[in-house]
Copies of this chain bind each other. A is one copy, B any other.
Amino acid sequence: MNNPTKKFSWKHKLHEIIYEADTPEGKLFDVILLIAIIASIILVMLESVESIDNKYHDALYVGEWIITILFSIEYILRVISIKKPTRYIFSFYGIIDFLSTIPIYISFFFAGSQGLVALRALRLLRIFRILKLARYIGASNKLMLALRASKAKIAVFLFFVLIVCIILGTVMYMIEGAENGFTNIPKSIYWAIVTLTTVGFGDIAPQTPLGQLIASVIMILGYSIIAIPTGIVSAEMNKTTPDHDHNTQSCPNCLKSNHKEKATFCYNCGSILNP
């Protein structure tokens, strides 16, 4: 009768280590996972560089196996330590973890050359593991708050930018035409976005005087309206920054806080505040 309790507590302990970061073991697990993720991403990058892959193919192959085994263990531990395994398995990260771990096993058993190319692509999904690092940022910080608060305004702004780009892209397609690189409307819209956002690749550039005039308008427009998202976020950041007009006092009678800096009486119950 002792055994199941023990097993449960063992599972509970494991859950604490893997899914939480409050205990020293949990932190250690997090640090090891962090290093493994970064190592795996560097590995993926190096493999994609042909010259490095040719030279150190075997070392990279071994490294990939090590990483894969580590992630396999992590995957199995995650599955067995959670109460409802399906909740993890079908979560976004669960799918990413599975898809980015499995390819090398398949390539080991079915050493066909055709399928391997598609599998390699699958292996690149491992890059999404980097999103796990995102939770170290701390979702509750002011930046995210400011961004979330100005979400609606930014959406309106992006919608406006998109309409401008669609119209100006079409106009440029009419003016410049296929002979100057504006081969179709989607490509012209792409060019308008490249120009409005002041990126300016230069792979497509207007050649006619009229086209250059409209391009100038787009550029100056893009240069000016960049002020809008900045203004939105700035205003929002100013708001979320602690309000210097309110002090941290709380009323000795009704315990309400957030009084005005200069207040001598509580705004809620009217009793005198401590000076």
Contacts and interface: CB of A to CB of B under 8 A. Distances in A.
Contact of A166 (B130, B137, B160, B170): B130
Given A121-B174, A197-B223, 7 more contacts: A45-B189, A49-B184, A130-B167, A187-B212, A227-B233, A258-B261, A259-B267
Contacts of A9: none
A134, A142, A146, A226, most chain B CB atoms within 10 A: A226
A125 to B, nearest CB: 9
A28 interface: no
Interface in A17-35: none
A235 B232 CA distance: 10
A98 interface: no
A239 B241 contact: yes
Given A234-B237, A261-B258, A143 B267 contact: no
A198 B198 contact: yes
A137 B124 contact: no
Contact of A227 (B196, B232, B245): B232
A150 B75 CA distance: 38
A209 B186 contact: yes
Nearest to A243: B245
A255 interface: yes
Contacts of A41: 166
Interface in A195-229: 195-203, 205, 209, 212-213, 215-216, 219-220, 222-224, 226-229
A165 to B, nearest CB: 8
A61 interface: no
A119 to B, nearest CB: 13
A228 B21 CA distance: 29
A115 to B, nearest CB: 16
Contacts of A50: 183-184
